[in-house]
């Protein structure tokens, strides 16, 4: 039985999770799951209104992510997910059905703010950036990747780290 691995690209809003995970998926052929696609509409509405989610709000979202991870047939999959808190991380560890490799995208706060401001079609307002940064508690074994540089360089470093 092949090893089942979930490569979780994590970080606050604006860190480049989706962009990096998508580029990593294209380079490796590993399927990608976009965590934002698994939020219930009520969560999206709250965040769009500038209201931070509680752990109770996150429960159904995590259930959906864990289900997607467990049922994906590929041995390695990529998940673009904020995974900011131990609650989210511990639930995924317990329920995703895979070994998790945590990749934290580290980006300076001014860059995060600029990236978020530049996005026009995203539900996450800049007003929630402070909350995201305050709640960021990466696992001790997370691999930190400096993500304020070209995506191809970030992906190359990730692949080096994964070897």
Distance (Å, rounded) from C-alpha 54 to C-alpha 105? 23
What's the confidence (pLDDT) of residue 2? 44
pLDDT the model gives residue 135:
79
What's the rounded Cα separation, in Å, for the pair 83 and 78?
13
- Tell me how far apart the alpha carbons of residues 42 and 54 are, in angstroms, rounded to a whole number: 12
Contact 91, 120 (CB under 8 A): no
Task: Quote the pLDDT of residue 1.
Answer: 33
Q: Distances in Å between the alpha carbon of 58 and those of 35, 54, 64, 149? A: 11, 6, 10, 31
Burial environment of residue 93 by CB neighbours within 10 A (0 to 12, 13 to 18, 19 or more)? middle
Residue 129 token pair: 């950036």
Mean pLDDT per 10-residue section of the chain, whose length is 163 residues: 83 86 97 92 84 87 95 96 90 95 88 68 62 82 92 96 88
Integer Cα distance of 2 and 102 in angstroms: 20
pLDDT at site 97: 94
Q: Which CATH number fits domain 5-162: 3.30.365.10, 1.10.3720.10, 3.60.130.10, 3.40.50.300?
A: 3.40.50.300
The pLDDT of residue 122 is 59
Give the bridge partners for 7, in sequence order: 78, 101
Edge-to-edge strand order for the sheet containing 143-146?
Answer: 32-34, 76-80, 5-10, 99-106, 143-146
């Amino acid at each position: 039985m092949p090893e089942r691995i979930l490569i979780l690209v994590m970080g606050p809003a604006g860190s480049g999770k989706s962009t990096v995970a998508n580029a990593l998926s294209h380079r490796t052929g590993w399927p990608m799951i976009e965590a934002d696609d698994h939020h219930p509409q009520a969560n999206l509405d709250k965040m769009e209104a500038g209201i931070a989610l509680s752990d109770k709000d996150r429960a159904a979202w995590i259930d959906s992510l864990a289900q997607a991870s467990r049922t994906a047939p590929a041995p390695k999959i990529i998940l673009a997910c904020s995974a900011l808190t131990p609650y989210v991380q511990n639930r995924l560890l317990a329920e995703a059905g895979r070994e998790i490799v945590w990749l934290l995208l580290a980006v300076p706060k001014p860059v995060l703010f600029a990236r978020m401001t530049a996005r026009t079609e995203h539900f996450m307002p800049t007003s929630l950036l402070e909350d995201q940064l305050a709640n960021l508690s990466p696992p001790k074994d997370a691999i930190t990747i400096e993500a304020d540089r070209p995506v191809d360089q970030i992906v190359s470093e990730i692949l080096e780290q994964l070897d």
